[in-house]
Structure 1
Amino acid sequence: MKKKTFVLVVIALVSVGFSAMGQRVDRTNFKAGIHGGVPFGDISDHSNFELGLDVGYHIALSELIDTGLTTGFMNAFINNDSVDAGPVTVEGDFPNIQYVPVAAVFRLYPTYDFKLGADVGYAVGINDGNTGGGYLRPIIGVNVSGNTELNISYVKVSDDYDFSMAALGILFLF
């Protein structure tokens, strides 16, 4: 039941993003970049580094607010060949943990060079046994030039385990 409710909320947010896209077309931004993260929570027992790709399309609703859609790819590198599951240690070749997020984007610009926001949606699990889950990514960004943004974020995927990380990224405006 919780998963159905979450999916409905994500669909509603994406719909709001699409309807907002039709409001103003005088300022649109395609953004692409990379990020690296340090996992914590349950995933930190098995991974100490994550690397990802970010792609998004933003539309200005006003001078202070953007909305849009984002996707990308996240890969948490597994750093060992055994997993300690309580009293049992499982040996084997474990795949990296991979997600493709699909999310609505909201950004607030207190100044031209500084932004606060969040990506809210669903992270599709693409490696074997990865069911995916709700995706939340609060973000703080700073413009370092007219077409380059440096950002820090917290990523949370509500999956069967705790996939959380702190990330540092760079985005380029096209």
Structure 2
Amino acid sequence: MKKLLFVIIAVFGFSNISAQGGEDNSQNSNSGEGFNLGLHAGIPVGDWDDLSSFAIGLDVSYLFNLSEGIDVGLATGYINFFSKDFDGFEVEDLGIIPVALSSRIVLGEDWFFGADVGYGIITNEGSDGGGFYYYPKIGLRIGSADIFGYYQSMIKDSIDASSVGIGATFNLN
């Protein structure tokens, strides 16, 4: 619960930065259309809470403007859950490559909601495939950058590798 509260405070804290910012340089008034590249960092939750101390990821997407305030496209990237010792055993880092459909809906002048849904491929040696992947986020557009809070999860055989945190994505168009 403390982790979720931290993310909510961080996201709403960025609203002050936006309010003090200058003019909006974004395309189509808050559209994420085009090529986007970003990073996110979070705290593992769920089944990986005891096995991992930190998660960091790279986000890559290309979005098309479907209509006023709605963007859709494809997303991929890489997520790494950094392992920690578990009851004296060394656990291997968990790597995931998401392949997903991505969407972004404008909630106002600066706010948006986005979600990626697809398949997460486990990159660890000896792993067999991956599982269902989802990545909802809510954030704030500041110029050509998005600052957001997120929950990210990949579920395989009822094991949930999830994290909650903050991230930033930059529109490169």
Over alpha carbons, which structure has the higher Rg?
Answer: 1
Q: Determine the structure 2 residue equivalent to 1:113.
A: 110
Q: Determine the structure 1 residue equivalent to 2:19.
A: none
Unaligned stretches of 5+ in structure 1? Answer: 1-26
2:98–2:121 CA contact under 8 A, matched in 1: yes
Q: How do 1:20-59 and structure 2 match up within 5 A?
A: 28-59=33-64
TM-score, scaled relative to structure 2: 0.75
- Higher relative contact order, chain-length normalized (CA < 8 Å, sep 6+): 2
**In 1, Cα distance between equivalents of 2:136 and 2:121:** 18
1:41 Cα deviation (Å)?
1.0
1:123 aligns with 2:128: no
**In 2, Cα distance between equivalents of 1:112 and 1:104:** 24
- Large movers: runs of 4+ above 3 Å: none
Q: Determine the structure 1 residue equivalent to 2:145.
A: 148
Root-mean-square deviation (CA, aligned residues, Å) is 1.6
Percent identical residues? 38
1:162 Cα deviation (Å)?
1.7
In the comparison of the two structures, how many residue pairs are matched?
Answer: 139
Unaligned stretches of 5+ in structure 2? Answer: 1-31
Cα 1:129–1:44 shift into 2, 3 Å = farther
Residue 119 of structure 2 aligns to which amino acid in structure 1?
A: Y
TM-score, scaled relative to structure 1: 0.75
1:117 Cα deviation (Å)?
2.1
Residue 124 of structure 1 aligns to which amino acid in structure 2?
A: I
Q: Determine the structure 1 residue equivalent to 2:162.
A: 164
**In 2, Cα distance between equivalents of 1:159 and 1:74:** 15
